[in-house]
Structures are given as C-alpha cells and as structure tokens.
Amino acid sequence: MRLQKFLARAGAASRRGSEDLMTAGRVSVNGVVVGELGTKVDPNVDEVRVDGVVVRLADGPTYLMLNKPAGYVTTMKDPQGRPTVVDLFPPDAPAGLFPVGRLDQDTEGLLLLTTDGELAHVLMHPRHHVPKRYLATVGGVPDESDMRWLRDGVRLDDGMSAPAEARIVKRSGTAAVVELIIREGRKRQVRRMLSAIDHPVNKLERLAFGAIELGDLPRGASRPLTSDEVAALKDAAGV
Ligand code: URA
C-alpha cells in the first residue's frame, strides 16, 4: 500500500495532508525518514511513525461523510444507469461501504457513509428521532402562519408531520431560504412539507445530521469522520 494511502486510512491526515507530512520529513518507516511519495509499506510488517508516534490502521468500521451533489441517486446500483453516490466513494473505500439513509437525486449535502450496518440501522430507525437540518430555497416567501404550520405539523398524504423547527434565513421578493430541522425521515419529507404550504422547493441541501455538520467540505468530496464525530453519532443512536 502506498504510504500516503496508509496514513490517510489510519486517520493521520487527509491524502493531501499525508503527502505534506511526508515531504516535510515527519514520517518514518522502520526508523528511516521517508519523503518519497511513491514509497510502499506493508501495514502488517512495517512500523510507520509520524513525529515519532506509531500509526496503525484501525481495523474497525469505516465512517465517512460525503457532500452529495445534485444529480446523484443514493443507491448502490441504479438499474436506469444514472450516476450514483458510489461514483463519489473515495478510491480506497473499503468493501461494504454504504450510505446511511438517502437523499433525493436533486438534494445536495451531508450524506453519511459507513460499513457499520448496526449503527446505520439504529440511526435510521424512526424511534431515535435524530434531528436533520436542511436549507431549502423555496418559491415565494412563507408568512408567519405558514411557518407555524411547519412547526406544528402539516398534513401529508402519509399523515401529519411531527413538530419541526423552522425559520426563514433569507428572503428576496420572489423566493426565500428556509431552515428546517426535522426528526423524521419520510420519503421526500422536506419537499412535501414545503409543497403542502404552497412554497415548493427549488433547491435543497442537508447541512447536519445529529451533531455532524457538513461544514466546508467541498461538493462531491468525502472525508473520514473524526473520532469525536463517531462518538457523537453513537451517542445519538444510544449504542
Ligand atoms: N427531504 C426531502 O424532501 N428530500 C431529501 O433528500 C431529504 C429530506
């Protein structure tokens, strides 16, 4: 395995950051400083150190976040041949990586990816009510009574929506940006809630899943979750 890939997988830094660590002379293999980017290591045999500290591959589950662009379907395989989120998995993605829940084809933003089937299952279970924060650009500007409907519950074809948090973060003459935090995960729920108050969604982005924030991760990019983020997810799931 290439040394920069080993370092990235072990969580020492991103792939680019790992290359920087190497060229800065901070990485050694079996006691010898290695700055050559093509260097290969055997994770089972070689001892890799960063700043003198041994780095090992964690052999536990993988947890990543992806900033999903519009146009990709959240499925492992699409019979219609559309681009899928799998096309955006990092090249060193482990076998068994899959998305936690789904975002619609046209929805952008935070999608968690993991090999941890048990945690994914628990997180998606409606009982856990993990809050998910969205920014929706809608047609027209909702008034206070529309916002109250969103907060209290609107009638959808599969029943009333549960209480949600809703606020307008921006308004222009003919459009508005609404922040909505929902604790359910019904199909196309945000779009349906906003259509129900006659303010259809033109653009939808998920910014947070529980305590996990998308931050400034570029569209189309992915990164491993930090151990604090994984701990927060496990906490939200009660596992
Ligand atoms: N609600 C939607 O309408 N679409 C999504 O992708 C997620 C939540």
Determine which helix (DSSP H) or strand (DSSP E) holds 198, and give its type and residue range: none
**Of 46, 78, 104, 106, which one is the catalytic site residue?**
104
CA of 207 to the centre of ligand 1 (A): 12
Q: Is there a single domain that holds both residue 200 and residue 186?
A: yes
Query: pLDDT value at position 13?
Result: 86
Q: What is the reported pTM?
A: 0.78
Query: pLDDT value at position 58?
Result: 67
Query: pLDDT value at position 174?
Result: 92
Q: Which residues of the chain fall below pLDDT 70?
A: 44, 58-59
Contact (Cβ atoms closer than 8 angstroms) between residue 239 and residue 118: yes
Query: pLDDT value at position 22?
Result: 95
Q: 98-99 and 108-114: which strand pairing?
A: antiparallel
Query: Hey, which residues does 180 pair with through a beta bridge?
Result: 134, 166
Ligand 1 pocket test, candidate residues 73, 107, 209, most atoms within 8 A of CB: 107
Q: Is there a single domain that holds both residue 226 and residue 117?
A: yes
Q: How many CB atoms lie within 10 A of CB 47?
A: 12
Give the nearest ligand 1 atom to 134 CA. Answer: 8
Tell me, what CATH number does 42's domain have? 3.10.290.10
Q: Is there a single domain that holds both residue 7 and residue 39?
A: yes
Name the residue with the closest Cα to ligand 1, atom 4.
188
Query: pLDDT value at position 42?
Result: 82
CA of 186 to the centre of ligand 1 (A): 8
Q: Is there a single domain that holds both residue 233 and residue 122?
A: yes
Number of domains in the chain: 3
* 97: amino acid identity, one letter: L
CA of 185 to the centre of ligand 1 (A): 8
Q: Compute the radius of gyration of the chain from its Cα atoms.
A: 21
Q: DSSP label at 230?
A: H
Query: pLDDT value at position 177?
Result: 98
Tell me, what CATH number does 158's domain have? 3.30.70.1560
The dihedrals phi and psi of 43, each to the nearest 5 degrees, come to -60, -25
pLDDT one-digit tens code per residue, 60-81: 788 999 999 999 999 999 999 9
Q: For residue 199, give its domain range.
A: 131-209
Query: pLDDT value at position 96?
Result: 87
Q: Is there a single domain that holds both residue 228 and residue 119?
A: yes
The verdict on whether 158 is a catalytic residue reads no
CA of 115 to the centre of ligand 1 (A): 23
Name the residue with the closest Cα to ligand 1, atom 7.
103
Tell me, what CATH number does 94's domain have? 3.30.70.580
